[in-house]
Homo-oligomer: A and B are copies of this chain.
Amino acid sequence: MTAGLTTAQLTEKHRAVLDQALDAIRSRAYWSPHPEHPKAYGADGVPDSLDAAQGQAAFEALRGKRFELDQPGTDGWSGSEVSPYGPELGIEYPHADLGILLPAMRAAMPAWREAGPEARAAVCIEILSRINARTHEFAHAVMHTSGQAFMMAFQAGGPHAQDRGLEAVAYALRAQTGEAPASAEWVKPQGKREPLKLDKQFTSVPRGISLLIGCNTFPTWNGYPGLFASLATGNAVLVKPHPRAVLPLALTVQVAREVLGEAGFSPDLVALAAERDGEGIAKTLAVRPEIRIIDYTGSSAFGDWLEANARQAQVYTEKAGVNTVVVDSTGDYKGMLSNLAFSLSLYSGQMCTTPQNLLIPRDGIATDAGHKSYDEVVSDVAAAVEGLLGDDARANALLGAIVNDQVKERIDAAAQLGEVALASRTVANPDFPGATVRTPVIVKLDGAKPDTEAAYLSECFGPVSFAVAVDSAADAVELLRRTVREKGAMTVGAYTTSAEVERLVEEACLEECAQLSLNLTGGVYVNQTAAFSDFHGSGGNPAANAVLCDTAFVAGRFHTVEVRRQA
């Protein structure tokens, strides 16, 4: 541990990583400082990190207890997390008296502002580095709140989330230091008279308290960008987790408070606002005047409400969309099938990036394995999913658990929407008999029949996808355009060997502003994005007004105040 390092020492310690992160967001080549293999952690791996057994033990030690944070204004304790794998976590979190907590957070900000962008970046990286060392512990916390399978919880909830946090720190630093130098001399010639001279100082100042409204499925991955972007730009951050996924963010707050205190800042720059069941404090918090920034991932209904009502704040939302894959033709039919099968199955389709609508010409498609009819393509995709998930151990490792009853209900309801090409199967999980594990359902719909629109033009979150028969590739592109424009999309995929169809799909994505993956047949999937290289969302369609991570995501979190003096 590095208790008590000064900000200068932290800056030195993390300079190389920060420089590499700044390079990576420029080059967008592959880079990560956070190993994604579980064995990289422990005695011979990442310094001071917990190995698998230590991580599990640390997680178990948290259960059935109060989670102490030593925040000002704690007026009670609450918590009711139940793992999607069955067990109750039994952890209680401090409940905040906002009238005490928010002023304490505000009071912490001037010293944090004065520290400057570089020092703030270094402290943020120290927080991420401590979190990284506890990745095995976080993996269990993410697994038992989101329902992700262990390996996914480990990677997406650990190193990949940490990458996204670090990426936000790099963007924040670049934006602040790029806005203006710390000082400037301004000399304006006046012909024969003396020139006008001013000394100017420029300071990045925060907007205020930033509110992170966490989600159930990706508490760290979707939470870290906003948290670190706001903290790195000088704001205090109040973390309001989803009531069913508190632990991963409570741990994060704990580490942040510890590091901030050791570095000589007030720990109250980061605080937790856990809530009692049904308390709904997000709505109250979101419109408080102290809250000047909000980051939110979740339903479109509440995201739209925030955008409309939290007028005093900059609001960054990731909401719901309808993701499309255009299936026009392929030079690697087998690769396409296995790639699609994996995308549909991963975490039971409970990702905002999972494809929902597969648009397939009713006359079939050209492939390297010959012409395939619409029915053949659909049954081959179904068979690929069945093959992938045929073994229960592998199915459990890929699917994880269903996160809530609504997802289960949607799976069951999907069978009523059309002809079922692949029925959802219940998988037993021998380690966690309480887990609900379900394989994807695929339903055939005819895009030419108006009564099917209601199904495929609504987001059906979970392992439900629609094989929509379309008249032609051009028809598919038109439906893609309409879907993105009206419903939004986090991802678009397309398979085609035709340069013309490729051009049409690209043009549609450029005009409707959606991120496109073309002809993925290997080990990269349309639902996965990599920090430092891929943009998550576009910010330009109804699925999200923000991007993880781009300049717009950080630029509104701070302002630059100029003080000019006659020289």
Residues of A within 8 A of B (CB): 26-30, 110, 113, 174-175, 178-181, 184-190, 196, 198, 200, 202-203, 205, 207, 307-308, 311, 506-507, 509-511, 513-524, 530, 533-535, 538-540, 547, 550-552, 555-556, 559-566
Contact = CB atoms under 8 A, between A and B. Distances in A.
B186 A516 contact: no
A28 B522 contact: no
A179 B550 contact: yes
A26 B566 contact: no
A214 B462 CA distance: 48
A294 B538 CA distance: 20
A556 B546 CA distance: 10
A565 B518 contact: yes
A181 B507 contact: no
Nearest to A507: B110
Contacts of A547: 559-560
Given A205-B540, A506-B563, A551 B26 contact: no
A420 to B, nearest CB: 31
Nearest to A28: B184
A510 B203 contact: yes
A539 B519 contact: no
Contacts of A185: 29
A539 B559 contact: yes
Q: Is the interface of A mostly helix, strand, loop or mixed?
A: mixed
A14 to B, nearest CB: 22
Given A200-B533, A207-B540, A518 B180 contact: no
Contacts of A184: 27-29, 533
Contacts of A539: 559
B29 A565 contact: no
18 contacts: A28-B181, A28-B202, A29-B187, A30-B189, A110-B511, A178-B551, A186-B533, A205-B540, A506-B563, A518-B563, A520-B566, A521-B566, A538-B560, A538-B561, A547-B559, A550-B559, A550-B560, A552-B556
Q: How many copies of this chain sit in the oligomeric assembly? A: 2
A167 to B, nearest CB: 13
Contact of A186 (B30, B202, B308): B30
Contacts of A29: 184-187
B534 A562 contact: yes
A535 B181 CA distance: 13
Contact of A307 (B113, B311, B534): B311
Contact of A517 (B181, B202, B207, B564): B564
A181 B534 CA distance: 12
A524 B196 contact: yes
Most buried by B among A198, A538, A539: A198
B534 A560 contact: no
A30 B564 CA distance: 13
9 cross-chain pairs, A with B, having the tightest CB-CB distances, nearest first: A540-B559, A552-B555, A28-B184, A555-B555, A518-B565, A30-B188, A551-B555, A516-B563, A30-B186
B535 A562 contact: yes
Nearest to A32: B188
A538 to B, nearest CB: 5
Most buried by B among A185, A521, A560: A560
Nearest to A555: B552
Most buried by B among A110, A174, A207, A518: A518
A510 B110 CA distance: 9
Given A30-B187, A518-B565, 11 more contacts: A26-B178, A27-B181, A28-B186, A28-B202, A30-B186, A190-B523, A207-B513, A513-B559, A517-B564, A520-B566, A556-B556
Contact of A188 (B198, B515, B519, B530): B530
A552 B552 CA distance: 7
